[in-house]
């Protein structure tokens, strides 16, 4: 296995800032940097007469850029090679890779925790009192540097995995659009108040937890994130060390129809049917259980119906609250909302169509999760030299290209 050289960044990249004077009559496309190496954040353009900045840093394709203020959060990336005109404040220094460092290889390094921790070590202080990471200090960071040919092989292999992730993501997005269309195609029926087809709504219970992941076979309480848009995730739960305050009525079971009673304006009133619920899973106070009269209205029907865009909007409009970040629904207003309730046979047909696409969507999300885990493990193994791509890979590429 080839030895990798240990170098300081200053040996393989160079500070290269293009400060552009701001003119009042020019519009500037502004970018920031997302944390944990997630790339550029594209902000709304600003006009020159709308900013107090005298100069802006032009961000060029394939340049390394980080946030001096948020470097401790891993706010570093490499600009895309097809980036158009983009600008940032002087808090975003830029660097150009030298002949020994491929920009695409450094982009992989920016996604790893090791580099984030090195940036964090350079940023002393706490919270808003943290010191900015100076370019000179950034360039002292040491990294393991493979040869250019090894860098290319690693970049190429990871690009192939990323291409598979992109294709699967597109398939999932297409399935989600199809499911949305199926949910909107509700059988015709007269609208009735939800309260007229519901036997009751059960409240959960507030409890203090440490927020730790639940242990196998131990009591747990659902997080708000367990109830998503028409989808239930039983893994979204916290460990419940003391459940003495909970009663049997607070247990969550397969088939329960759950709704978030308090959440952000976009997520309040999310509805989903619970499935694959582990034993001793309890209902928190921010989630309700809806008990439909199954002789008139199926829980699975309501689960899909109330996840359709039209009825999501009705639920959200019934919510109240003074905070822009959190809204609440109440049982009276929710029960007064009118929904179509066709014959049971029509409900079953509607549910069958939606369930088939929802199942396909779940499979897609599961495959994507496994693929992303594989990507992370593969990249770590490559960068740690636990596995090596043989040089014969280069010859193979030449033969097929």
The pLDDT assigned to 129 comes to 60
Strands 220-222 and 281-282: parallel
Distances (CA, A) of 376 to 86, 108, 372, 382: 29, 11, 6, 10
> Is residue 322 within 8 Å of 258, Cβ to Cβ?
no
Phi and psi at 197, nearest 5°, equal -120, 15
Q: What is the DSSP string of 243-294?
A: -TT--GGGB--TT-EEEESEE-TTTTT-EEE--SPPSSEE-BTTEEEEEE-T
Query: And the tokens for 5?
Result: 């050289």
How far apart CA 280 and CA 109 sit, in angstroms, is 42
Best CA proximity match to 86, nearest among 114, 103, 65, 113:
65
What pTM did the predictor assign?
0.82
- What residue spans define the domains of the chain? 5-145, 147-181+344-401, 190-341
The pLDDT assigned to 321 comes to 77
Which residues of the chain register pLDDT less than 70? 1, 125-130, 243-245, 322-323, 393-401
* Fold designation for 190-341: Adenine-n6-DNA-methyltransferase TaqI; Chain A, domain 2 (3.90.220)
Question: What confidence tens digit (pLDDT) does each residue in 250-307 have?
Answer: 899 999 999 999 888 888 899 999 999 999 999 998 999 999 999 999 999 999 999 9
What is the domain class of 5-145 according to CATH? alpha beta
The pLDDT assigned to 133 comes to 93
Q: Could you tell me which residues are beta bridge partners of residue 87? A: 30, 58
Q: Could you tell me which residues are beta bridge partners of residue 58? A: 18, 87
């Amino acid at each position: 296995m080839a030895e990798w050289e240990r170098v300081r960044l200053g040996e393989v990249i160079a500070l290269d800032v293009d400060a552009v004077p701001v003119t009042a009559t020019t519009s500037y496309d502004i970018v920031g940097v997302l944390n944990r190496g997630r790339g550029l954040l594209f902000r709304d353009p600003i006009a020159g007469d709308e900013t107090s900045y005298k100069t802006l840093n032009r961000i060029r394709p394939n340049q390394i850029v980080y946030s001096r203020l948020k470097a401790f959060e891993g706010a570093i990336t490499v600009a895309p090679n097809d980036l158009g005109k983009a600008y940032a404040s002087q808090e975003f220094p830029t660097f150009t890779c030298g002949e020994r460092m491929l920009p695409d290889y450094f982009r992989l390094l920016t996604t790893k925790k090791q580099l984030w921790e090195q940036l964090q070590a350079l940023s002393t202080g706490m919270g808003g009192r943290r010191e900015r990471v100076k370019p000179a200090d950034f360039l002292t960071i040491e990294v393991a540097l493979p040869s250019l040919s090894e860098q290319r092989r690693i970049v190429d292999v990871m690009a192939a995995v990323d291409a598979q992730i992109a294709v699967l993501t597109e398939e999932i997005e297409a399935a989600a659009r199809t499911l949305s269309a199926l949910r909107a195609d509700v059988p015709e029926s007269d609208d009735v108040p939800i309260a007229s087809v519901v036997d009751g709504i059960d409240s959960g219970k507030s409890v203090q937890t440490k927020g730790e992941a639940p242990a196998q076979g131990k009591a747990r309480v659902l997080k708000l994130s367990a109830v998503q848009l028409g989808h239930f995730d039983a893994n979204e739960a916290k460990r419940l060390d003391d459940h003495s305050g909970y009663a049997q009525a607070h247990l969550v079971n397969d088939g329960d129809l759950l709704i978030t009673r308090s959440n952000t304006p976009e997520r309040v009133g999310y509805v989903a049917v619970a499935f694959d619920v582990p034993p001793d899973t309890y209902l928190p106070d921010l989630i309700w259980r809806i008990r439909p009269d199954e002789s008139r209205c199926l829980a699975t029907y309501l689960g899909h119906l109330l996840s359709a865009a039209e009825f999501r909007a009705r639920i959200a409009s019934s919510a109240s609250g003074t905070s822009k970040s959190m809204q609440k629904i109440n049982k009276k207003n929710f029960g007064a909302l009118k929904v179509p309730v066709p014959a049971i046979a029509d409900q079953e047909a509607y549910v069958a169509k939606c369930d088939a696409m929802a199942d396909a969507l779940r499979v897609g999300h599961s495959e994507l999760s496994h693929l992303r885990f594989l990507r992370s493990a593969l990249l770590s193994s490559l960068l740690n030299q636990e596995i090596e791509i043989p040089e014969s890979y280069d010859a193979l590429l030449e033969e097929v290209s």
